A and B are shown apart, each in its own frame.
Chain A
Amino acid sequence: MTDVAAPAATVLTVEATVNGQRREAAVEPRLLLVHFIRETLGLTGTHIGCDTTSCGACAVLLDGVPVKSCTMLAVQAAGSEITTVEGLQQGAELHPIQQAFREEHGLQCGFCTPGMMLTSVALLAENPSPTNEEIRWAISGQICRCTGYQNIVKAVQRAAQAMREA
């Protein structure tokens, strides 16, 4: 940037728990949560799709609740617990939702998948036996351009079953 008129930016410290780890960084207030996650923390599993609050590729869990991380400031997440797709896998073991997306071919290009899985995890935490309609409703803020959603719904049902039986 060569904009000499730009005022000196304020910098604030953000401290948050990301995937169970305490993370801290000095950021400008205008930094979006998604850029904090991807660029400051290097967790690139969270994707940027439309950048206009339409597609949900950037969905993360904020204190367990799915939000669009492109439509939130990093400073607003101070003190929160954030879960990204990198936080799903435990050790060598895939999370049941990841296993189910794999088994049911719930993804093709994979771009929407992190957000779809996180929203599904939040849904299943609240409603362990959702109907197909409830699954479609829960992911209706997210766009998949490959699957036609059929296999995503199947994957969520499969994960629900696996988690109920676990």
Chain B
Amino acid sequence: MYPASFDYVVPTSLEEVVAELADRGSDAKVIAGGQSLIPLLKLRVVSVGSLVDINRVPGLDGIEEENGELRIGALVRHKACERSELLRGRRRLLGDAARLVSDPLVRNRGTVCGSLAHADPQGDWGAVMLAARASVVASGPDGARTIPVDDLIAGPFTTSLQPAEVITEARVPDPGPRASGTYLKLERKVGDYATAAVAVQVTLSNGDVQEAGIALTGVGPANIRATAAEDALRGNAPDDGAIREASRLAAEAAEPISDNRGTADYKRSVVRVFCERGLRTAIAAARAGEEESR
């Protein structure tokens, strides 16, 4: 299979990337890892006038922590997240998710920020970043702006990015010292889309839940934040009852459809069970952090 013809440019600075995008208009697309875009071009589901390849732009491939905030550059591959020591413990939500993205070969090429820009309802990073309350930084002709992932995801395969904007990094806020999370995903085989997946993140304070993030993959037209489930946990003791109630609410927030991966009811059950398991894991890990910091 061949994609249809397109122009191709490889800028070596962010300014050039933005200038090329502005110049080429809305049928230009950014390519980083290309692990979603190239298959779509080959299937001719997507056609582009030009590809602006950002792989040669320096300075976009770092995972860094600064004043507690984590920054994941636009060229950071899933594999780098899988291996990063920064994405464990309090930030294990990200590390746990990274190893479940697609398959090992795709993880060698595909990028976190590319996945966010693609906004596939089946994308893992959308849910992870919602649960982690992350933002992206986008550069465009008018400069850079920070977009919370809640506002970035506008619908299936749709973001609030302007045509000449490019995501340069994802920013994940400091979850606090007594925090943890995890990502649980059910897939029929490695590399398949999720039947359902749940991202959870909790921060404890004096034993109670200070902040909770719960978001879902593959059970709606976009990644879904389970707001009611988060509200049910916030300010309360993370006991059995609270975990069960939050998980019930997370399942209620899901909008799955029946397909060859399972019925809507089944997927909703998976969300409930995975949310419960994820919360237990996250709370236990956050408590261990609480013990350590005493």
Q: Nearest chain-A residue to B7 (Cβ)?
A: A10
A7, B104: Cβ atoms under 8 Å? no
B2, A32: Cβ atoms under 8 Å? yes
A52 close to chain B: CB less than 8 A:
yes
A72, B38: Cβ atoms under 8 Å? yes
Q: Given the complex of chains A and B, what is the CA–CA distance between A6 and B35 in angstroms? A: 26
Given A71-B35, A72-B109, A76-B34, A141-B104 contact (CB < 8 Å) = yes
B16 close to chain A: CB less than 8 A:
no
- Distance (whole angstroms) from the CB of A11 to the closest CB of chain B: 10
Chain A positions within 8 Å of B42 at CB level:
32, 51-52, 70
B104, A138: Cβ atoms under 8 Å? yes
Q: Given the complex of chains A and B, what is the CA–CA distance between A9 and B3 in angstroms? A: 12
Q: Given the complex of chains A and B, what is the CA–CA distance between A166 and B31 in angstroms? A: 42
Chain B positions within 8 Å of A10 at CB level:
5, 7-8
B86 close to chain A: CB less than 8 A:
no
A66 close to chain B: CB less than 8 A:
yes
Contact with B along A42-72 (1 / 0, CB 8 A): 0000000001111010010000011110111
A67, B8: Cβ atoms under 8 Å? no
A162 close to chain B: CB less than 8 A:
no
B34, A73: Cβ atoms under 8 Å? yes
Contact of A51 among B1, B5, B106 (CB under 8 A): B1
Contact of A140 among B7, B10, B51, B190 (CB under 8 A): B190
Given A66-B105, A72-B109, A140-B104, A12-B8 contact (CB < 8 Å) = yes
B105, A68: Cβ atoms under 8 Å? yes
A130 close to chain B: CB less than 8 A:
no
Chain A positions within 8 Å of B106 at CB level:
53, 68, 71, 141
Contact of A7 among B5, B190, B191 (CB under 8 A): B5
- Distance (whole angstroms) from the CB of A95 to the closest CB of chain B: 20
Chain A positions within 8 Å of B109 at CB level:
67-68, 71-72
B5, A6: Cβ atoms under 8 Å? yes
- 8 A-B pairs within 8 Å (CB atoms) are namely A12-B8, A29-B8, A30-B4, A30-B41, A52-B39, A71-B35, A71-B109, A138-B104
Instruction: Given contact pairs A30-B41, A141-B103, A141-B104, enumerate 7 new A-B contacts (beta carbons under 8 Å).
Output: A53-B39, A67-B108, A68-B109, A71-B38, A71-B106, A72-B38, A76-B55
Closest 8 CB pairs of A and B: A141-B103, A29-B8, A141-B105, A140-B190, A30-B3, A141-B104, A9-B5, A71-B38
Binding site for B on A (CB under 8 A): 6-7, 9-10, 12, 28-32, 35, 51-54, 56, 59, 65-68, 70-73, 75-76, 119, 137-142
